[in-house]
Amino acid sequence: MSDFPTEHVLLTPGPTPIHPRAMQALTRPMLGHMDPEVFALNSDIQADLRVMYGTEPETFTALLAGTGSLGMEAGFANLVEPGDEVLVCANGSFGRRMAEMAARYGAKVRLVTAPLGEAIRPRDVAAQLTDDVRMVAVVHGETSTGVLNPVPEIAELVRSSGALFTVDAVTTAGMEPFHMRDWGVDYAYTGAQKCLSAPPGLAPIAVSERAFARFGARRTPTPLWYGDLGGLHDYWVGQTYHHTVPVNLHFALQAALRAALEEGLENRQRRVRQMGRVITRTLEPLGFTPYVHRPEERLPTVLALRLPEGFDDAGIRGQLRQRDISVTGGLGPTAGVIWRLGLMGESARPEPYRRLMTALGDLLGDRDLADRYEHHLQEETRELVSV
Ligand SMILES: *Cc1c(COP(=O)(O)O)cnc(C)c1O
């Protein structure tokens, strides 16, 4: 270990710092992908994913060997056929990525958009949701702008139509309320390196029975052989070979997922909110303000803050990076306008943000910054779960 640099403070909206138990699990001796012990581990993962997503007891869950984008792509590849009408809610770069993928698999895409920094309006979805729509897709938490879309309200509209409902849960599942069964979600996915703080390279998915029936009724096989739901089912349920799964990443994800469930999903939701309030209050006197106007549209796991007038975004982030602290700015039209502070998984802890506040106070000549942070932290965390 001594060859590695000292600990890096990763405050980006993904990847997140690897959970210590996941780090330890990575060093387990290798086993074969067809080993009985690996199949037992896989079925623990499947059960824990059902809890994380809030599914029916029998819902198919699995890991895809790729990042969150593969989870996204597999949804369209398996559940969309050429010519299908697909309604995509796109109010940021990940929503637009969904639209592009759906189009590549032959969908006729209808877009529902919203102004930058605002959530999708359910009534705009309703206006385009005609009987011929085969799927509605939405990003729950738009990482590019820090906007939380009203998934439960959109779900209610979709439920009374014949369409499947696909939800990108990358910034929410495991950290924010997510209720696949109660809401009526048909396909959900995330990435291991976001809210679970496992290493990148796995995409946990959940597929409803309705979605499986749609898949089973395809006229032609999906062009995406590697992510074919039938092939995945063969491995995850039938225990027959499809492809070599990254066993060591399964070890790590299982450890991180179990740690999340042991902490408790509600405790995690509370931890994110507490940290968000502490950071916002600490930075407010410097002129940082919430980028998303309506409080109910703010995504707790990606804190988007508008920078103060005249703030040297690139310069300060560069200096922070020299001190081994990574902070992410805006994307496209919000570049130079906002910071996106990650509060997913292990980044939503007092210590990494203490490092940021100390460094920032130093760089900006704000002697009170670190003390303000401690003060707000103490106020918030009088009954804090863990530090
Ligand atoms: C990160 C992210 C993705 C893509 O995940 P990768 O792991 O980068 O492939 C998709 N959707 C959202 C909302 C994300 O934040």
Residue 7 has a pLDDT of 84
* Superfamily grouping for domain 265-381: Aspartate Aminotransferase, domain 1 (3.90.1150.10)
- Which residue in this structure is represented by tokens 């009170």? 368
Residue nearest to atom 14 of ligand 1 (CA): 170
pLDDT of residue 384: 53
Å from CA of 73 to ligand 1 middle: 11
Taking the chain (387 residues) in consecutive chunks of 10 residues, what is each chunk's mean pLDDT? 75 97 97 98 98 97 98 98 98 98 98 97 98 98 98 96 97 98 98 98 98 98 98 98 98 98 98 98 98 98 97 98 98 95 98 98 96 96 59
Among protein residues, the one whose CA lies closest to atom 12 of ligand 1: 170
In the reported structure, the alpha carbon of residue 60 is separated from the centroid of ligand 1 by a whole-number distance in angstroms of 21
Tell me the CA distances in angstroms from 222 to 133, 166, 294, one per residue in order: 19, 17, 41
Handedness of CA 142, 9, 258, 200 (dihedral sign): positive
**Best mutation site among 91, 120, 143, 167 for ligand 1 pocket (most ligand atoms within 8 Å of CB):** 143
Compute the distance between CA of residue 67 and CA of residue 56 in angstroms, rounded to an integer.
25
Report yes or no: 69 and 139 within 8 Å, Cβ to Cβ. no
CA of 310 to the centre of ligand 1 (A): 31
Q: How far apart are CA 117 and CA 146, in angstroms?
A: 7
Domain ranges of the chain: 20-262, 265-381
pLDDT at 339: 98
Ligand 1 atom at shortest distance from the alpha carbon of 193: 7
Contacts of 21 (CB under 8 A, 6+ apart): 255, 256, 258, 259
Q: How far apart are CA 266 and CA 176, in angstroms?
A: 8
Q: Are 380 and 278 in contact (CB under 8 A)?
A: yes
The pLDDT score that the predictor gives to residue 2 is 53
Atom index in ligand 1 nearest the CA of residue 67 equals 7
CA distance 298 to 293: 8
- How far apart (Å, rounded) are the C-alpha atoms in residues 262 and 256? 10
3-state helix, strand, coil in the chain (%, to 5): 45, 15, 40
Is 340 annotated in a binding site? The answer is: yes
Distance from the CA of 341 to the center of ligand 1, in angstroms?
15
Specify the DSSP element, H or E, that contains 142: strand 141-142
Contact predicate 228/15, CB 8 Å: no
pTM, rounded to two decimals: 0.97
Say what the pLDDT of residue 381 is: 77
**Dist. CA 138 → ligand 1 center (Å):** 13
Task: Write out the CATH class of domain 20-262.
Answer: alpha beta
Does residue 317 sit in helix, strand or coil? helix
Instruction: List, chain by chain if needed, residues with CB within 6 Å of any ligand 1 atom.
Output: 14, 67-69, 72, 94, 139, 143, 168, 170-171, 191
Compute the distance from residue 68 Cα to the ligand 1 centre, in Å. Answer: 5
Mutate to test the pocket of ligand 1, among 194, 196, 253, 347 (most ligand atoms within 8 A of CB): 194
CB-CB contact of 166 with 138 (8 Å): yes
Res 1: pLDDT: 47
Q: What are the Cα distances from residue 223, in Å, to 76, 188, 237? A: 11, 20, 22
Give phi and psi for 82, each to the nearest 5: -50, 135
CA distance 63 to 244: 12
Contacts with 198 (C-beta within 8 Å, 6 or more apart), sequence order: 18, 19, 22, 192, 249, 252, 253, 255, 256, 257
